[in-house]
Structure 1
Amino acid sequence: MSLLNFRHHVFAGAFIAAAFASPAHAEEPRIVSVGGSTTEIVYALDAESDLVGVDSTSLYPKAAREFPDVGYVRQLSAEGLLSLRPTLILAGAEAGPEAALTQTEAAGVRIVKLEEGYTPEEVAKHIEAIGAALGREEKAAEVAGIFRADVKAVLAEVAQIKTHPRVLFMLQAGRGPMLVSGKHTAANAMIELAGGVNAVSEFSGYKPFSPEAATLAAPDVILMASDTVEALGGAEAVLSQTALAPTPAARDGRLVSMDALYLAGFGPRLAHAIHDLAAELHPEHEFAPLPARPWTEAE
């Protein structure tokens, strides 16, 4: 083979490889959604047909679990993201590490990163931001408008409640130690939105469970993710723990469990999650049901 032909073959091969790897040459949108609430928004905007991958926290709706999994939201790799040849990555605030996103963006992939925020208005802004990124502004405006109205309705009811139970949120972090939620967390925000008071306010974030501190916090209600309660042997087993047994929550048998993503995901189902948690925290009040929405009724 002549030198000229050799160079021609090398150039052609490199061009084909680049065309295959570069999203700029993709004919159709190829979206990777990273973050459970981010994926929920994609479905709420009827854009799931453009998805080619999600992260491992994208558990709702169930159909999202059928897509290729790029890994845990906080432990992404550029190689894993780029292997799906995405044209757009929608990244929740918790997505990382930053180096993986930077490398992916340097490869020519557009990334829309959402801002962290544990307020209903932040969720509405996330819906609008994803709508803009997907070219579905009109649909996003519709969904955000309905979402805001639902939140307004449930918060108006919560504002009427005179009782404010002390709530202790406990989290099992994988195989690690039990953690409790302080300030500036999704759990803290949900407790307050539902008319409760976080029983732990001495620190921010999540810290390892201290039996003595749990007893001193004297919670009226223990709040946990459903899978954590199941892993610990059920509500009775949880409330009978030495640290919790002396608390008002154990005395009154008040343990509330909810699906983790529903409870703390801060996605388009937030208004309904606030409603359901508020109903558990305030059994003396009969909350008016919120209308079912397509994004709350998906399988």
Structure 2
Amino acid sequence: MVSAGASVTDLLIDLGAETQIVGIDATSQLNNKDVPNIGYHRQLSVEGVLSLSPTLLLGSEEMGPKPVLTKLNNAGVKVVALPSAPTVAALKQRITQVANLTDKQSKAAPLLRAVDGKLTQLKRRAPASTQQGVFLLVHQGRPASIAGTSTTPNTLIELIGATNPAANTVTSYKPLSPEALLGFNPDFILVMQRSLDQLGGLTGLANAVPLLENTQAFQQNKILAIDGSVLVGGLSLKSLDEALRVQSQLIELSQ
């Protein structure tokens, strides 16, 4: 099969089905296995996928373009788009569905228990006083956007035990004005590690996001980097691990 989407590939690994993978997309990583890369999961090509002779293309609802998926299906490749809603319910549904597709049903129950265990940890360690946090999507040369409802970053913020003030007015991602950022004035700000690296660290981030230095998050050193791969294709177990890691950071910074 070809796996298109980091969360899908991670789930295949968690189920012990990585030996069935003959190709991955640019957001995915396979440990100790060198397989061809078919490019970005939203911009697949018919030729790139068919060159690997897969019987199954497995991805999230984010993969495309749709005409390419239709042509692949017509060429005899089974195309399965898993639900990518950033919810725990959708994650559990994906675990069961992928276990059935890969004949790894015996591995599904332990993974579902692992999900519940991580959720219990997150709830138990949630701070007594609720903090406010936002996620900024920042690319070099482009205005920053903020994540609202129906996004994986918003779910991560909630899992940490915090609230996202942008969720009251923003659905999906929306360009962020400096005035809006100051209005939110969050306790902490999440950004992708890759963005920080590309911009040259916090100084570059501050140059790219006007008035960032005036927020309490910046002034209290609560700009936290997260692994961008956990944001692709909905929640994964790795997303929950990242939520636990960020939660630990916030606990340490608040002491």
TM surpasses 0.5: yes
1:282 aligns with 2:248: no
Give the aligned length.
252
Question: Which residue of structure 1 lines up, in the alignment, with residue 45 of structure 2?
Answer: 77
Letter in structure 1 aligned against 2:132: R
Question: Which residue of structure 2 lines up, in the alignment, with residue 204 of structure 1?
Answer: 171
Superposed CA RMSD in Å reads: 2.2
Question: Which residue of structure 2 lines up, in the alignment, with residue 6 of structure 1?
Answer: none
State the distance in 1 between where 2:39 and 2:204 align. Answer: 32
Cα drift, residue 143 of structure 1: 2.1
Post-superposition Cα deviations, 1:150-208, rounded to whole Å, max 9, x if no partner, equal: 223322332xx222222121112476432221221111111111111113231211122
Cα drift, residue 259 of structure 1: 1.4
Cα drift, residue 39 of structure 1: 0.5
Cα drift, residue 281 of structure 1: 2.9
1:51 aligns with 2:21: yes
1:182 aligns with 2:152: no
State the distance in 2 between where 1:146 and 1:222 align. Answer: 28
- Identity over the aligned pairs, expressed in percent? 30
Cα drift, residue 284 of structure 1: 6.7
Matching of residues 1-299 of structure 1 within 5 Å? 31-59=1-29, 61-63=30-32, 66-158=34-126, 161-173=127-139, 176-201=142-167, 202-239=169-206, 242-262=210-230, 266-283=235-252
Assess if the C-alpha contact under 8 Å between 1:173 and 1:179 holds in 2: no
TM-score calculated relative to the size of structure 2? 0.89
Cα drift, residue 105 of structure 1: 0.9
Post-superposition Cα deviations, 1:214-272, rounded to whole Å, max 9, x if no partner, equal: 12221111210111112222124435764112211122121111211246662122332
Relative to structure 1, is the Cα distance of residues 89 and 97 closer, same or farther in structure 2, using a 3 angstrom cutoff?
A: same
State the distance in 1 between where 2:103 and 2:120 align. Answer: 27
Letter in structure 2 aligned against 1:208: P
| Runs of 5+ consecutive residues of structure 2 not aligned to the other structure | none
Assess if the C-alpha contact under 8 Å between 2:140 and 2:198 holds in 1: no
1:245 aligned counterpart, secondary structure: helix
Larger Rg: 1
Relative to structure 1, is the Cα distance of residues 233 and 183 closer, same or farther in structure 2, using a 3 angstrom cutoff?
A: same
1:89 aligned counterpart, secondary structure: strand
Letter in structure 2 aligned against 1:55: D
TM-score calculated relative to the size of structure 1? 0.77
Letter in structure 2 aligned against 1:96: G
Relative to structure 1, is the Cα distance of residues 153 and 219 closer, same or farther in structure 2, using a 3 angstrom cutoff?
A: closer
Relative to structure 1, is the Cα distance of residues 175 and 100 closer, same or farther in structure 2, using a 3 angstrom cutoff?
A: farther
State the distance in 2 between where 1:68 and 1:208 align. Answer: 35
1:276 aligned counterpart, secondary structure: helix
Post-superposition Cα deviations, 1:21-42, rounded to whole Å, max 9, x if no partner, equal: xxxxxxxxxx100100100111
1:219 aligned counterpart, secondary structure: coil
Assess if the C-alpha contact under 8 Å between 1:165 and 1:281 holds in 2: no
1:170 aligned counterpart, secondary structure: strand
Relative to structure 1, is the Cα distance of residues 253 and 285 closer, same or farther in structure 2, using a 3 angstrom cutoff?
A: closer
Relative to structure 1, is the Cα distance of residues 105 and 263 closer, same or farther in structure 2, using a 3 angstrom cutoff?
A: closer
Assess if the C-alpha contact under 8 Å between 2:206 and 2:212 holds in 1: yes
| Worse-superposed segment, 256-265 or 87-96 | 256-265
Assess if the C-alpha contact under 8 Å between 2:132 and 2:164 holds in 1: yes
Cα drift, residue 209 of structure 1: 2.8
